[in-house]
Every structure is written in structure tokens, then in C-alpha cells.
Amino acid sequence: MDDGDTQSQAFSMLQSLEGLSAFRSLEELILDNNLFGDDLVLPRLPHLHTLTLNKNQITDLEYLLDHLAKVTPALEYLSLLGNVACPNELVSLEKDEEDYKRYRCFVLHKLPNLKFLDAQKVTRQEREEALVRGAFMKVVKPKASSGVEAASPESHLRYTPLPSASRELTSHRGVLGKGRYFYYGRNSEGNRFIRDDQL
């Protein structure tokens, strides 16, 4: 086996965790830089307290947290940095600090025993906020229905609130009219601010 084969094996990525069921007393598990997505399934690991899943392909946060709550009851340290499910500037420029705060609140609502989340210690204030508002911090993705046409870059050009006849430049109809305006001084907006001694 040459050096090229050795190097490619060293950087191969895990895609299955079937063998972990034999390690029921496992306490720490590092699964960074792999290809794990929303189909990630861990066996029950009752003693696992540290789990890092940084830089994977996880997008469905709620599904992952519900699964972890069932199979890792002793979990205290969790890191999900580098996944779409963890909204921060490292993953998307569209995300900001408020998105990340909502994410932390929702994670702590689902996993209240966490002491560290993404290399940051969980504060008492975060824990209290998760109790009160955590359930409402879930990010809801719109579901695409089969009967609705998929959005395309040109879709906004097709929609118009005007009747189809008025879309053509040649069929434009406008209205021009004249009206009389009557001024009633005592109801004028400007007169509200003028005192009697200024008249």
C-alpha cells in the first residue's frame, strides 16, 4: 500500500454508526468532519456526556434534538458548529447573532441538562429563557406542496395584481378629472398650532 492509499483512508468519512451499540458505556464521542445528515441514528448511549458533530450535513435541528434526548440522557456537552442546523456566520452570511441566540434557546429547551453548547458555557439566564420561550424558538421551514409551482427567479415577474387587460401598454386606461377644494379655516391642520395672540 503506498502513501496515497494511506492518506485517502486517513481522511475517509464515516457514514454509519452501527458498531457503536457495542460501546454502551461510552462517555465521549467526536464525529466532526463527516457526512452525517438528518438520517443520523445513534444507539442508546446512557453514559455519553460529550458529543461533537461539527462540520457535518445536519439541517433538521428538531429531529436531531428529539433523537438525542431519547438516546443520550446524560448529555452535557454538545457542539453542532458548521452544520446548517446551527445558524451562524460560518455557515451562512444570511444568519446573524439573533439567529444563533434563538437556536441556543431552542436547543436548551429540548436538552435542558446541557452545560456547554458549541464551546460556550450555558448561562443561568439562557436556561431561564429556554424554560419560558424555548418552545417558541423553533425555526419552521415552509413545506413545498405538490400542487404549487416551485418558485423560480422569474416568478415575481409573472405576478401582477392588475387585470390581464391592463398589462398591455396599448390597452391602458386612465381617468382624469377636476374637483373643487373648499378651505375651512377653523378645521385647518395649520391653525391648530396658532394661538389667538399670534393673529
Which of 64, 100, 109, 94 has its CA nearest to residue 81?
100
Q: How far apart are CA 195 and CA 198, in angstroms?
A: 5
Q: Give pLDDT, residue 191.
A: 57
User: Do the domain assignments include residue 93?
Assistant: yes
Would you say the C-alpha torsion 22, 24, 29, 34 has a positive or negative sign?
positive
Distances (CA, A) of 185 to 132, 179, 194, 195, 199: 56, 19, 12, 14, 13
State what percent of residues in the chain have pLDDT above 90.
Answer: 41
User: Do the domain assignments include residue 164?
Assistant: no
CATH number at residue 103: 3.80.10.10
- Number of domains making up the chain: 1
State what percent of residues in the chain have pLDDT above 70.
Answer: 59
Q: What is the average pLDDT value for the chain, to the nearest integer?
A: 76
The pLDDT tens digits for 29-80 are 999 999 899 999 999 999 999 999 999 999 999 999 999 999 999 999 999 9
Average pLDDT over residues 177-199: 61
Q: How far apart are CA 93 and CA 67, in angstroms?
A: 28
User: Between 104 and 148, where is the model more confident?
Assistant: 104
User: Do the domain assignments include residue 170?
Assistant: no
| The pTM of the whole model exceeds 0.85 | no
Structural domain of residue 54, as residue ranges? Answer: 20-137
Are residues 62 and 104 in contact, defined by beta-carbon separation less than 8 angstroms?
no
CA angle 26, 29, 30 (to 5 degrees): 165
Q: Give pLDDT, residue 5.
A: 44
User: Do the domain assignments include residue 59?
Assistant: yes
Q: Give pLDDT, residue 48.
A: 96
User: Do the domain assignments include residue 36?
Assistant: yes
At position 141, the amino acid (one-letter code) is: K
User: Do the domain assignments include residue 121?
Assistant: yes
Q: Which three cell numbers stand for residue 155?
A: 416568478
Average pLDDT over residues 184-194: 57
Q: Give pLDDT, residue 46.
A: 95
Q: Give pLDDT, residue 78.
A: 96
User: Do the domain assignments include residue 71?
Assistant: yes
Q: Which residue has the cell 461510552?
A: 26
Q: Give pLDDT, residue 130.
A: 87
Q: Provide long-range contacts, Cβ within 8 A and 24+ apart, for 112-116.
A: 113/73, 113/74, 113/75, 113/76, 114/75, 114/76, 114/77, 114/78, 115/76, 115/77, 116/76, 116/77, 116/78, 116/79
User: Do the domain assignments include residue 26?
Assistant: yes
Say if residue 155's pLDDT is above 70.
Answer: no
Are residues 119 and 112 in contact, defined by beta-carbon separation less than 8 angstroms?
no
Q: Give pLDDT, residue 98.
A: 86
